[in-house]
Amino acid sequence: GENVEQHPSTLSVQEGDSAVIKCTYSDSASNYFPWYKQELGKRPQLIIDIRSNVGEKKDQRIAVTLNKTAKHFSLHITETQPEDSAVYFCAAKNYGGSQGNLIFGKGTKLSVKP
């Protein structure tokens, strides 16, 4: 089955700096890769996603890149702000497969220092 590795487990940056979180997946058939943000004590919420027919996707200060050959994808946050502090989870899914369930990474705790 699918396995998703996420690095780093913790990340501390200064306000205004960029933050990058990386994930690798094992199942080459996976074709959908979402990122969820979870603030302390809150529920996970989708912030951006990418499908395997796209190499990069941007939404304001966040972007996700996908390298299918290497089986890894990354979340990039530019001009970080204190409100970006949260735990970020990557996930992978075989959209059309018999399983079709999201497999999550273990999370990255991002701290943005003012």
Partner 1 sequence: NAGVTQTPKFQVLKTGQSMTLQCAQDMNHNSMYWYRQDPGMGLRLIYYSASEGTTDKGEVPNGYNVSRLNKREFSLRLESAAPSQTSVYFCASSEARGTDTQYFGPGTRLTVL
CA–CA separation, 88 vs 71, rounded Å?
19
The pairing of beta strand 108-113 with beta strand 45-51: unpaired
CB < 8 Å & 24+ apart, contacts of 61-66:
62/35, 64/33, 64/35, 66/33
Residues that contact partner 1, how many (by CB under 8 A): 21
Token readout for 79 is 């001009």
Query: According to CB under 8 A, which one of 37, 75, 85, 107 is a site residue for partner 1?
Result: 107
Query: According to CB under 8 A, which one of 19, 105, 110, 112 is a site residue for partner 1?
Result: 105
Q: Is position 44 an interface residue for partner 1 (rule: CB under 8 A)? A: yes
Q: Is position 64 an interface residue for partner 1 (rule: CB under 8 A)? A: no
Residue 114: CB minimum distance to partner 1, A: 26
Residue 111: CB minimum distance to partner 1, A: 16
Token readout for 86 is 């949260």
Interface with partner 1 by CB under 8 A: which residues? 6, 9, 32, 34, 42-46, 49, 89, 95-96, 100-107
